[in-house]
Amino acid sequence: MRFKKWFTGVAAAAMLAVGGPALAQKTQFINILTGGQSGVYYPLGVALAQIYAEEIPNARATAQVTKASAENMNLLQAGRGELAWSLADSVSDAWEGNEEAGFKSKLDKLRGVARTYNNFIQIVANADSGIETLEDLKGKRISVGAARSGTELNARAIFKAADMSYDDFDKVEYLSFGESVELMKNRQIDATLQSAGLGVSSIRDLATAIDIQVISIPAEIVENVGSPAYIPATIPAGTYDGQDVDIPTAAIPNFLVTHEDVPEEVVYEMTKVFFDNLESLQSTHNVIKTVDIEKAVEGMPVPVHPGAERYYKEVGVIED
């Protein structure tokens, strides 16, 4: 009888060791931190979560609505997510512990996964407001994104580079993209600054409801920001209804970031599956068309996670 019990226990252990039944497999939770529902992070996060759930064994993936970049970094540091979208300057500020940017200390657990697409700083005014330049924004009402979000930090940087501050405006609102658009439709504010991929749904929605004026950010102002994360860029003509000419602006890279406690194998799979499914993600938003695996670690503000590094060595992005 004792032998029978011993044999049964050994057999069960052996089944677990080789994989055994599905119940023996540990579920891997992958919480993807995104942004507001009217931005680009959220729909991409939802699509990526669906792909992860289908292609990563035993993965249970979800996409979480957040205040985007800065909050995402704080949540990762606290272990409350496995993957997050964030702007390059927010990642850098988090790693350095820039208190002015909302980080009370260095977020030393952050690890890089991939550089993805660029955000474009898009300042859009009601065409009836008389706003045609940055200077014209003075004395007007504007929404600059949720307080301490990546968008709001971008707003501070651009206005400072243009020798402006929030004191120059008649009113400053700290609202999500969707909320900002609703206030513009109702003529409660005159302009909104949104840092997002080109063709962001919130501005497309606004442009179908009212006549808009997209405000240029000259290259010299972008250079005045004094950060390598900010690069001169262009919003091509026709990106939005009523926008008939190219508009100079600033662009900032977006990164996928994780933290050091996420297992190497999980990050390897997340990285591989992301790049293997770029074509599927393009159907969610066109910004994914600009993702280039050859630039996956270019300008990474934090150390690359060992799981992502292993994948990049396999595909030749990083030399072994």
pLDDT of residue 293: 98
Residue 26, SS3 per DSSP: coil
What gap in Å lies between CA 173 and CA 12, rounded to an integer? 61
Quick check: 60 and 30 in contact, CB under 8 A?
Answer: yes
CATH architecture of 28-118+253-315: 3-Layer(aba) Sandwich (3.40)
Picking from 310, 301, 296, the residue whose alpha carbon sits closest to that of residue 264 is 310
Alpha-carbon distance of 206 to 29, in angstroms, equals: 36
Distance of CA 206 to the CA centre of its chain: 22
pLDDT tops 60 at residue 18: no
DSSP letters spanning 98-144: -GGGT-SS--TTEEEEEEEEEEEEEEEEEGGGT--SSGGGTTSEEE-
248: confidence class by pLDDT, cuts 50, 70, 90? very high
Residues of the chain with CATH 3.40.190.10: 28-118+253-315, 120-252
Q: What's the pLDDT tens digit per position in 38-65?
A: 889 999 999 999 999 999 999 999 999 9
At residue 13, the pLDDT reads 38
Percent of the chain residues past pLDDT 70, beyond the cut? 92
Is residue 8 pLDDT above 60, yes or no? no
So what CATH class is 120-252? alpha beta
| CA-closest candidate to residue 111, choices 144, 136, 86, 147 | 86
CB 129 within 8 A of CB 295: no
Over 70: is that where the pLDDT of 297 sits? yes
pLDDT value for 10: 36
Does the pLDDT value for residue 227 go beyond 50?
A: yes
pLDDT tops 90 at residue 216: yes
Q: Which residue has the tokens 């994360």?
A: 229
SS3 76: helix
Q: HSE of 198 in the Cβ direction (CA atoms, 13 Å)? A: 23
Taking 70 as the threshold, does the pLDDT of residue 6 lie above it?
Answer: no
SS3 60: strand
Residue 288 carries which DSSP code? G
Please report, rounded to a whole number, the percentage of residues in the chain having pLDDT higher than 90.
88
Kindly state the average pLDDT of the residues 139-144: 98
For the chain, first and last CA: distance in Å? 55
Query: What is the pLDDT confidence band of residue 181, given thresholds at 50, 70 and 90?
Result: very high
- pTM of the model as a whole: 0.85
Q: For 115-132, what is the mean pLDDT?
A: 97
DSSP 243: -
pLDDT tops 60 at residue 12: no
Whole-number pLDDT of residue 20: 38
Do you know the residue count of the chain?
320
Rounded Cα distance between 248 and 260, Å, is 38
Phi, psi angles (nearest 5°) of residue 159? -65, -35
Residue 147 banded pLDDT, cuts 50, 70, 90: confident
Whether the pLDDT of residue 257 is over 70: the answer is yes
pLDDT score, position 5: 37
pLDDT above 50 (res 4) = no
Give residue 38's pLDDT. 86
CB atoms within 10 A of CB 27: 7
Q: pLDDT by residue (tens digit) across 95-104?
A: 999 998 889 9
Between these two residues, 308 and 20, which has the higher pLDDT value? 308
**Res. 17 pLDDT band, cuts 50 70 90:** very low
Alpha helix ranges (H) inside the chain: 2-17, 41-55, 69-77, 88-96, 150-161, 177-185, 201-209, 219-224, 264-276, 278-282, 306-315
Residue showing tokens 């938003």 = 285
